[in-house]
Structure 1
Amino acid sequence: MEFGSERGAVQNRIIKYCSDIGWEYLSPEEALTYRNGEGNILLREIFIRQILNLNPKLEYENAEEVVRKLERIPSNVEGNLTAWEYLKGLKQVFVQDENREINVRLLDTENFRNNVFHVTDELKFVSGNKTNRYDLVFYVNGFPILLIETKAAYKINGLSEAFEQIKRYHWETPEALSLLQLFSITHLIDFYYSATWNLSAKDLNRWKHKEEFDFEHLIKTFFDRKNILKIVTDYILFVKKDDRLSKVVLKPHQIRAVGKVVDRARDRRKRRGLVWHTQGSGKTYTMITAAKLILESPEFENPTVIMLVDRNELEQQLFNNLSSVGLENVRVAMSKRDLKKLLIDDYRGLIVSTIHKFHLMPKDVNRRRNIFVFIDEAHRTTEGDLGTYLMAALPNATIIGFTGTPRDKTKHGKGTFVTFGIDDPPYGYLDKYSILESIEDGTTLKINYTLAENSLLPSKEVLEREFLNLKEIEGVSDIETLNRALSKATTLKNLLKNRERIDRIAQFISKHFRENVEPMGYKAFIVAVDREACAIYKEALDRYLSPEYSEVVISKNHNDPPELKRYHHTEEEERLIRRRFKEEETPKILIVTEKLLTGFDAPILYAMYLDKPMRDHVLLQAIARVNRPYEDENGRKKPAGLIVDFVGILDNLERALSFDSSDIEGVLTDLEVLKGHLKDLMEEGRVEYLSILKGKRGDKAVEEVLNVFRDQEKRHKFYQFFNELKAIYEILTPDPFLRPYIEDFALYTRIYSILKQAYESVDVGKKILERELSEKIKELIKGAPVNATIKEELEIVEIDENTLKKLLSSKATDTEKVFNLLKSAELTINRNLEKEPYLIPLAERLEELTREYHNRQKNTKEMLNELKELSEEIVRVRKEMRALGLSVETFTVYWILKKMGVERALDFKDKIEEIFNEHKLWKVNKSEGRKLKIELTKLFLNLLGSERIREVTETVNKILEILRK
């Protein structure tokens, strides 16, 4: 077994570990028997048996009806929701004896041992003329819940390839994906899972091992039968936003927190808890899921859950339409009186409100114990008397605070955090998901910052006196308190709103945005000191950028002057602005001062031009708008977020963010630090990588690169180096600081391109750089004088007689010729395989040769000869196919007979054609398939002799497998 191989070290290990914990393995043949054909995914017999076991009132006909309904559901996310509703026991069938509809249970979630768990591998699914083979499929009670795509541990881009295959399965065989709820990708080192019908890379969730790497522990914890049932039934959410249905599955930190919140709700002694999950880590879904589980569970005896959210969030569609995530019995408290009446009337279900509606609420409005209050942004919503009113009104309620920011130094030992954290000493957190952990998981991104030039910054003395030294804003947690403090800072506000200054900043922003942000495909915020400043910024920015580039989003006031009223938007207009901003269209810049600085999630937002003094919680919440991961359609990922500070507030981070250093570790990095890191990387690269090109140019340089990086570990290390370098270039370009390094970076891109072409998928080279490099980086390196040092790409062409001669007679070195031929053969086969399946044996031989060469089992001379022969055969077989004019089926059989040494194989073409014409439906009809197989076997035995029966049987099976593909 090859070390780290896909089948041996990954696939078979998963089956072994899952078998250890109670999953029963089914061979592909056994699974196919239960599936009743390759066009079905349900294990039909097992599925029906389990329905009858779990639903004593149902008859066989009822179970058959469920099967028929599942087979007819649409092959899209809406159909997948229907399948999930069946798994949740929410769907019904009519039972004649009962004369009524009865809910069907497909799973027993209370006693997992009443379910049967199966895993199978190499599951082939056929949809029309498309066939896909899934590496591993997991079933509960015969219902497919999860598929895994595995890759060999040594494959550098294995996970990316696996993810691309998952995407392809959704397009090519969606009927199977209409039932499957989850997918995973793994290459032994990492294990990621996500929801089917959600193909965004940012929603891939890493299932983590706690300390040192242990693949067995990782698999056994994820596939623990209780865990899988909970993930499928409790932690999948179907969400409707802007009339589009989407699907998510909770991340590990969300699952962990939900479990702790529900456990705290059960606890008769502990009635408080604080959950800190950093901004951007999905706190809303955590709250909603915990609320759902409490409301659905009989053990809480028809409870009430009160969700207290931010006023901005209350306006969001998600909170106005919680039924879209499966929550029924939802009431939004429209006023203080409405909330009070709901509590006095002892309403059971979910109440959504704001904390402010508890103001002046009487004591003991409801003393029931099974009331559970979830408070979003607890660090600010329970400040002052509001928390006191809440706790007095509901004295026996369990109250859980959720926050996106850590405890600041001013609140140690007092205030909100002690109120919520009293049951969880010494740190006061029921659950914590820190900024650093979030960045490591890829849930959020790092944020870089830079200070504007001194001439644009306000006076330091005024900033200190009128803002930073104010005691009342230490640990400020809401923007209203901040605004009140700023309203008194007359001199500071006048400085910030100076029209000449704003004009110069607008000029700077327009240039910076066009050169730094727009070429990356991202968007920006301008945060002005107040609403009037927003209007001034818009007026100034329109002088340097087209007016449609930007929009002002501010709150309305009836007494506003005309210059502000022009930016008043209706709710529908503002909703449209928000939606368009999140997409790849105008507006590209939003000018704000208060709105959208909390609760607004736009992953495409990259840069924040900060011209409003902020600190502590308010600052952390605002800058977190830029930390959301984003990936465009070409697979380019947002490298980080960026803050450009025009106030000088970030000049002293300790004062701007007065939190424990460990809690905000990694949140902000000065661009000057990034420049220093780039300089170090460049020095390292010159020694380790550019030195291999010393004294070599052109083809010799290519040969050296290909030979040095045949070592997998070296290649992987270079890829990591280049990707880190590329991310920094993406951020810093077009800073003049980069000028001394442009030529070196251009050389690294050439090396990267050559290696990707030579060692990865054939569809690379220039295309990979087209996809991976932003326009501003392409522009930066366009003129770098590196053409004479090393070429940009290998010669990869589709092989025919002319191109083969050209490749073999070129002046390239033998090493380069090997890779030119290898990738050209791969390109030719891949492009024509679907219409010319007789190329499959040649594809398999090419794969074997590639592996042998990479593992140094063949030297360059041997490989060149082998590839020459293989390429000649590709040309020969395709030429003969065109000349003979036979059907694909007949030619494939003829060619394989010829390869087996059958003389005059062509004489039997009519007989072969006749067999296939007689059994035209062989691919979709099992009976016809068997007859075709018998006829071909007879023909082969007549030609080769009965003593070769084993060889004949294997060959016929191989031919039919090839033609099915």
Structure 2
Amino acid sequence: MFNEQTVTENGIIDRLKGLSGVKWTYCHGESLPKQAQDIFVDEWLKDALCSLNPDIAKQPDYADEVIYKLRGVVLEARHTGLVKANENFHEWLMAEKTLPFGENGDHITINLIDFDNIDNNHFVVSQQVHYIAATEVYFDIVLYVNGIPLVVGEVKTATRPSVTWQDGAADFMGGKKHYWKNVEPYFVSNLLCFASEGKTFAYGAINARVKDWGPWHNTDLRDDILPGLASVLDSCEGLLNPQTLLQLLESFALFSTVKTGKNTPPKRIKILPRYPQFEAAKQIVERVRKGYPKKGLIWHFQGSGKSLLMLYAAKMLRADNDLKNPTVLIVVDRRDLDSQINETFGGADVKNLIKVQSCRKLGEHIEQDSRGILITTIFKFKDVEIDDKNPNGLNSRDNIIVLVDEAHRTQEGGLGEKMRWALPKAHFYGLTGTPISGIDRNTFKLFGAEEDPGRYMNRYSYKQSIRDGATNPVKFEPRLAELRVDRDAINQEFEQLAQENNLDEEEKAALSKRAGKLAVMLKAPKRMAAVSADIAEHFTSHVKPKKMKGMVVVYDRDACVQMYYLLGEKLGFDAVEVVMNVDQAPVKALEGDKKDKVNKDWRKWHDELELPIQQADFERWQHIDAEDQVQKDLIECFKDPKHPLQLIIVTAKLLTGFDAPICYCMYLDKPLRDHTLLQAMCRTNRLYETDDVRKDMGLIIDYLGVFENLRTALAYNPEEIDGVVEGIEAFKELLPAQLKKCLDFFPSVDRTLEGFEGIMAAQECLPTNEKRDEFAASFGVLSKLWSAINPDPFLSPFRNDYKWLAQIYESVRPVGQTGALVWAALGPETIKMIHEHTDINRIRDDIDELIMDEHAIFTLTDKEQEQRAKRLEIDLMGRLRGHTDPKFVELGERLEKLRQDYEAGVIKAIDWLKGLLDAAKDTVQAERETGEHVVTEEDNKQALTKLFLETRPETTPKLIGDVVDQIDKIVKATRFEGWQNSNSGPREIQKALLVTLAQFGLGKDKELFNKAYEYIKGHY
């Protein structure tokens, strides 16, 4: 018998029991020395407290006091929330708490875990662990360290195609089980949770969304990883071994404050590393401890979390006593990256964090031997004067570690030289999100150690990040060929740009003048008007329906201004904003000389640059440019899905260091190359997920043909950038075949049949769950292709077939979380397309005609009854799914389980009917409580019939259907307002019900009678 326990659960436990080195001891949940209401195994926890704390060993009763305190932290969760309680408990786990248990009442540090010698800890793996809080649960796998549950795992069956690790993860974050809410106290001590269905594996921190769960591999695995139990067990061994878990607990579990919107309060979250961050941070620390080599190059693809990697490394370096209070210098090459790093470190409450404000301050900090974590830009080294006679620079300590973000270009010129002279014995680690090309040849020399294969200390490629779900793929679509500028002119400018490899601002300005011809062509008024019109149309039809946002990248500041006014007229000025370098200090008060200065600056732009610019807009852009907080507020507005700001227009700013996951589309009308192009396009590759939106890819709309020759645009080793961006044209090639694959599920169905007839015929081609799952997987691919291409006219010939398939998909999609990966909700564009047509509306309107009254039922043939029942089933599936309250999701899952249990032979037909009666009663009550649905007279007549038709298995005996029919007839024929409180009402109803059940030989089944009566009684 293959089920979740025999395959996945036992397989994971066996692997953990058999680990080399420190092992997990096995104890079944039934044998744990604890009660179902207990979180900790007190016996084990008390032993650990005594063995790890000599003062407690002398007075074992002190252990009980510690456990009492820990229970108090658990109880705090109901007031503080789970994440804050988990953070407070983490302080206890990290030995940051003291109690007066020493001599003369001295406070001593309380150790719950020995991180230095892990053999001193007690590791136990258990399964089917019983726990009772607000509800009763059985956790599949729990890992205890010293009696404290640090890890909880949920596993699912490996034999159902639609079931994935997401179904296990869903048990933690929602649905009927919703562990993090319903049994919240158990997760106050939690380090991580994991889920698997025996084919794939993922882990996440408490309260994480699906997008924040990830796999656990190692960066040496470059190729695709075949799903299967072997891969799952390797992941378990890598993540869940005692050494890794304690390292995660000690050095990698972070708590950070993040903003969720401009007008919403900040939220506290728990962060765990992805495996590339874990690997690379450990490598940096190990190399610094070893002392050689004193450098390393880390290439982790854009969007895979380099800021967090530096945060982990910096915290670990600072916490390492052997390094004797080191200085960690974080160096970035742009102000926007500086802001991003500061936000990451500041949100995580990093201690001894110093934000270097100026070149002078940087020099002072280095010369005065500041200890801690310093964050600065490379440009703050510009005032350093190199003294060749002084080999010790500004500070010759060897425990200074420099982490350089985006290790390109600026590190290779004079600024990099000054940095290395100032810190002659420091360790230098370069982090980059783009591969190193020929023009960046010195980056290898500066950061890549000869001892490292390929000169990379750690490498995490584009393909790996996509495979792991760490970033989204990026697609491009060429637009408006008739508006392209002269190809020869563009190629000349590209070649010129490639030759001028190390440009400062003056050189950029000079190049801009030499490229005047290109600028004139790009900014021609007719062309700008046409491009803006296309952007407005594409954004309105393609991006806005997805509930996401976009960026517009134009040639220069002149083009920014033009595009702002053009798009503002089309989309509304509250929907667009410009972020660019205005080259002026902010003006905080418009008084006296300052006001004159503003007028002068604005007039210079207005007249000399010939920009039709409003003074109020100019002043606003000055503030956005110069005031960090103003720019941060603007970005928060952009990230907020409820804020009207939809498009940000830029020319250079925000192309790096700008992390806005809601950004789905970039409209590119500027010739970019190499790492600048790669960094820019990756603004769209961040993961994004809300309750009703999930981003599957990023999109670049290319107005210049930049991507038409990728080898020219991205001068890297072709193997390193293979597939890094792909054209939508590839999707167009795939769509017809995928559409045919979906239609092949319905070989004999006449798709010209409208309304119910076509859908009923199609459903008959999907008779089993397995068949439906296969169709769902195929249609899921098709819907992503469709969404990516839409609204291209290419789709017109396929629209009717796609719409028909989407209706079938919706009509058979299960309610609830089942098959979260395979049975995904359709995108808003597809739903809108369906609703724009009459078929679904006709389905909903026809329901009134399909209500069978007590007389009509006897005039219908069996075939006619079956047809009408199927029509009701189609409508009711949509009706139940339309409810937003969790009660109805739970009801859907309950009905689905009833049907599956009956089909599997777990329950008999009569038991299935009893369960259906209970569900019917609860549905009526839930609708009444939530007010989501007004119960009409027609509903009263047919509530039980509807639930029966929606959930009935194919093999249901006709007898059950007849019983359901007759019970609903009693509701209509016998009930009257207030009958429950009358003398004769209950007696008449009970008599009618008893006679009805007796007709079917069920008169002696008291349980059935009671359940049916309670259902009828609820209908008033």
Superposed pair shares fold, TM > 0.5: yes
**Greater mean deviation of Cα atoms: 357-366 or 188-197:** 357-366
Residues 799-814 of structure 1 aligned to structure 2 (within 5 Å): 811=864, 813=866
The answer (yes or no) to whether the contact 2:4–2:155 under 8 Å persists in 1 is: yes
Which residue does 2:184 correspond to in 1? Answer: 174
The answer (yes or no) to whether the contact 1:478–1:618 under 8 Å persists in 2 is: no
The answer (yes or no) to whether the contact 2:578–2:621 under 8 Å persists in 1 is: yes
Residues 50-129 of structure 1 aligned to structure 2 (within 5 Å): 50-58=48-56, 59=59, 60-61=61-62, 62-74=65-77, 75-95=81-101, 97=103, 99-128=105-134
RMSD: 4.4
Residues 274-673 of structure 1 aligned to structure 2 (within 5 Å): 274-313=297-336, 315-316=338-339, 319=342, 322=345, 324-359=347-382, 360-362=384-386, 363-364=391-392, 365-411=394-440, 414-474=441-501, 485-558=511-584, 559=601, 561=605, 563=613, 564-569=618-623, 570-584=627-641, 585-634=643-692, 636-673=693-730
Which residue does 2:995 correspond to in 1? Answer: none
CA distance in 2, matches of 1:331, 1:45: 45
Post-superposition Cα deviations, 1:337-393, rounded to whole Å, max 9, x if no partner, equal 322333333333222222223333544232222221110000133021222222233
CA distance in 1, matches of 2:855, 2:362: 78
CA distance in 1, matches of 2:179, 2:269: 18
- The 1:852/1:408 distance shift into structure 2, 3 A limit, reads farther
**Greater mean deviation of Cα atoms: 360-369 or 582-591:** 360-369
- The 1:79/1:675 distance shift into structure 2, 3 A limit, reads same
The answer (yes or no) to whether the contact 1:703–1:816 under 8 Å persists in 2 is: no
- The 1:103/1:753 distance shift into structure 2, 3 A limit, reads same
The residue type paired with residue 425 of structure 2 is N
The residue type paired with residue 398 of structure 1 is H
- The 1:794/1:366 distance shift into structure 2, 3 A limit, reads farther
Post-superposition Cα deviations, 1:638-689, rounded to whole Å, max 9, x if no partner, equal 2311111223322322111111112112221122222112123234444x32
Residues 224-263 of structure 1 aligned to structure 2 (within 5 Å): 224-242=241-259, 243-263=266-286
What displacement does 1:180 show? 1.7
The answer (yes or no) to whether the contact 1:447–1:627 under 8 Å persists in 2 is: yes
- The 1:540/1:822 distance shift into structure 2, 3 A limit, reads closer
Which residue does 2:831 correspond to in 1? Answer: 778
Q: How many residues align?
A: 869
Residues 149-228 of structure 1 aligned to structure 2 (within 5 Å): 149-155=154-160, 156-167=162-173, 168-198=178-208, 200-208=209-217, 210=221, 213=228, 214=230, 215-228=232-245
What displacement does 1:397 show? 1.9
The answer (yes or no) to whether the contact 1:202–1:631 under 8 Å persists in 2 is: yes
| Secondary structure at the counterpart of residue 454 of structure 2 | coil
Matched, 1:691 2:701: no
CA distance in 1, matches of 2:567, 2:434: 33
- The 1:498/1:823 distance shift into structure 2, 3 A limit, reads closer
| Secondary structure at the counterpart of residue 904 of structure 2 | helix
What displacement does 1:729 show? 1.4
Structure 2: runs of 5 or more not aligned: 260-265, 585-600, 607-612, 913-951, 987-1001, 1011-1020
| Secondary structure at the counterpart of residue 447 of structure 2 | helix
The residue type paired with residue 628 of structure 1 is R
What displacement does 1:819 show? 11
| Secondary structure at the counterpart of residue 693 of structure 1 | coil
Which residue does 2:943 correspond to in 1? Answer: none
What displacement does 1:715 show? 3.8
What displacement does 1:624 show? 0.6
| Secondary structure at the counterpart of residue 631 of structure 1 | coil
The answer (yes or no) to whether the contact 2:193–2:204 under 8 Å persists in 1 is: yes
The answer (yes or no) to whether the contact 2:96–2:110 under 8 Å persists in 1 is: yes
What displacement does 1:761 show? 4.5
Which residue does 2:901 correspond to in 1? Answer: 848
Which residue does 1:29 correspond to in 2? Answer: 30
CA distance in 2, matches of 1:182, 1:793: 49
Which residue does 1:17 correspond to in 2? Answer: 15
What displacement does 1:794 show? 13
- The 1:692/1:270 distance shift into structure 2, 3 A limit, reads farther
**Greater mean deviation of Cα atoms: 812-821 or 296-305:** 812-821
The answer (yes or no) to whether the contact 2:760–2:871 under 8 Å persists in 1 is: no
The answer (yes or no) to whether the contact 1:477–1:617 under 8 Å persists in 2 is: no
The answer (yes or no) to whether the contact 1:147–1:184 under 8 Å persists in 2 is: yes
Residues 40-51 of structure 1 aligned to structure 2 (within 5 Å): 40-51=38-49
| Secondary structure at the counterpart of residue 240 of structure 1 | strand
The answer (yes or no) to whether the contact 2:156–2:196 under 8 Å persists in 1 is: yes
CA distance in 2, matches of 1:838, 1:656: 54
CA distance in 2, matches of 1:504, 1:831: 42
Which residue does 2:922 correspond to in 1? Answer: none
The residue type paired with residue 41 of structure 2 is L
The answer (yes or no) to whether the contact 1:753–1:792 under 8 Å persists in 2 is: no
Post-superposition Cα deviations, 1:802-821, rounded to whole Å, max 9, x if no partner, equal 89989996736599869959
- The 1:491/1:813 distance shift into structure 2, 3 A limit, reads same
The residue type paired with residue 46 of structure 2 is I
Post-superposition Cα deviations, 1:184-217, rounded to whole Å, max 9, x if no partner, equal 111010110011122x221111124855541333
The answer (yes or no) to whether the contact 2:668–2:701 under 8 Å persists in 1 is: yes
CA distance in 2, matches of 1:841, 1:498: 63
Post-superposition Cα deviations, 1:883-921, rounded to whole Å, max 9, x if no partner, equal 999xxxxxxxxxxxxxxx999989xx9xxxxxxxxxxxx
CA distance in 1, matches of 2:794, 2:462: 30
Which residue does 1:890 correspond to in 2? Answer: none
**Greater mean deviation of Cα atoms: 342-351 or 605-614:** 342-351
Which residue does 2:929 correspond to in 1? Answer: none
| Secondary structure at the counterpart of residue 264 of structure 1 | helix
The answer (yes or no) to whether the contact 1:478–1:617 under 8 Å persists in 2 is: no
- The 1:839/1:262 distance shift into structure 2, 3 A limit, reads closer
| Secondary structure at the counterpart of residue 677 of structure 1 | helix
The answer (yes or no) to whether the contact 2:325–2:371 under 8 Å persists in 1 is: yes
**Structure of higher RCO (CA pairs closer than 8 Å, 6+ residues apart):** 2
Structure 1: runs of 5 or more not aligned: 886-900, 910-965
Give the TM-score normalised by the residue count of structure 1: 0.81
CA distance in 2, matches of 1:19, 1:468: 61
Which residue does 2:800 correspond to in 1? Answer: 743
- The 1:821/1:597 distance shift into structure 2, 3 A limit, reads closer
The residue type paired with residue 13 of structure 1 is G
CA distance in 1, matches of 2:126, 2:853: 45
Post-superposition Cα deviations, 1:495-546, rounded to whole Å, max 9, x if no partner, equal 2233332222222211111111111111011112222321121111122111
**Greater mean deviation of Cα atoms: 437-446 or 477-486:** 477-486
What displacement does 1:781 show? 4.2
- The 1:861/1:344 distance shift into structure 2, 3 A limit, reads closer
| Secondary structure at the counterpart of residue 720 of structure 2 | coil
What displacement does 1:588 show? 0.4
CA distance in 1, matches of 2:165, 2:714: 37
Give the TM-score normalised by the residue count of structure 2: 0.76
| Secondary structure at the counterpart of residue 639 of structure 1 | coil
CA distance in 1, matches of 2:884, 2:453: 63
CA distance in 2, matches of 1:516, 1:671: 14
